[in-house]
Structures are given as C-alpha cells and as structure tokens.
Amino acid sequence: MQSFQIEEKDFTPRISFDTDQNEFSISGESYVEHAYEFYKPVLVWLEKYLAINKRPITFHFQLMYFNTPSSAIIFQILELLDKAHTEQKVPIQVHWFVPENNEALLEEGELLKEDFHQLPFKLIIPKAA
C-alpha cells in the first residue's frame, strides 16, 4: 500500500504514515469539531494496512493538544494497533511524546499506557535542562 499523508491545518494534525519505513506519526494539534469526519479516512486506511502488514511498526503520537472528540479517535487508533499486535503478532511500538511542562498530555499518556498494557507503549519525556 502507498504511504498516507495529510498536512497539518489550523485545527487538524499532520498525519504521516510512511509504509517504506513503517514509521507512522500524528503530530501537531487536533481540535477539529467533527473529529470522526476528519479521521475516518485515517482509520479506514490504517485498518486496511494493518490487515496486510507483517513488518514492525513504530507509531509516534507527537501532539501538543487534542480535544475530547480527538481523544476518542486516538483510543480507536490504539485499539487497532493493539489488535494487530496481540492477534496478528505484528511488533508495534507506540511512542507518546510529552511536550515540556504539559501535565495533561503526560497524564493522558499514562492512562492510555495502562489501558493498552499489552502494547509496547513508551512515554517520551524531555529531560530537564
């Protein structure tokens, strides 16, 4: 399958799913009002790709902020990754980047790590200077 890209806009993140390297990322801010409409093609593409992929994937969440509707989509993405990891035995590593001094994203990452405890989930926290 071809790689999948959506450029960042005012209220939507950058989506970069590179199938050559199997490095996937969602970065920026996500506070689109109708999150499902924006993310539907992302979810459809990811589900199709995970059904045929057998190579290791690294998935980066590099969000600065996201709203509640976007949070529900992030959960759905993690469910798809978890299913591929546990049922299809695809090696998947999730990297959750925590911007400096962002307690809300740290807490969200910790909760998601607990929810998806079988999925290798690494919190990436910048070291204090």
User: What mean pLDDT comes out for the span 22-49?
Assistant: 96
Q: Cα angle at 111 between 104 and 52, to 5 degrees?
A: 115
pLDDT, tens digit (0-9, with 9 covering 90-100), for 106-115: 999 999 999 9
pLDDT value, residue 100: 87
pLDDT at 3 over 80: yes
- In the CATH scheme, what is the homologous superfamily, with its name and number, of domain 4-124? STAS domain (3.30.750.24)
Q: What values do phi and psi take at 9, rounded to 5?
A: -125, -170
Structure tokens that stand for 75 in this block: 């959960």
For residue 128, name the pLDDT band (cuts at 50, 70, 90).
Answer: low
User: Do 122 and 94 contact (CB within 8 A), yes or no?
Assistant: yes
Beta strands in the chain (DSSP E): 4-6, 14-18, 23-30, 57-66, 92-97, 121-124
pTM tops 0.85, yes or no: yes
pLDDT, tens digit (0-9, with 9 covering 90-100), for 75-86: 999 999 999 999
User: Do 68 and 33 contact (CB within 8 A), yes or no?
Assistant: no
Structure tokens that stand for 67 in this block: 């709203």
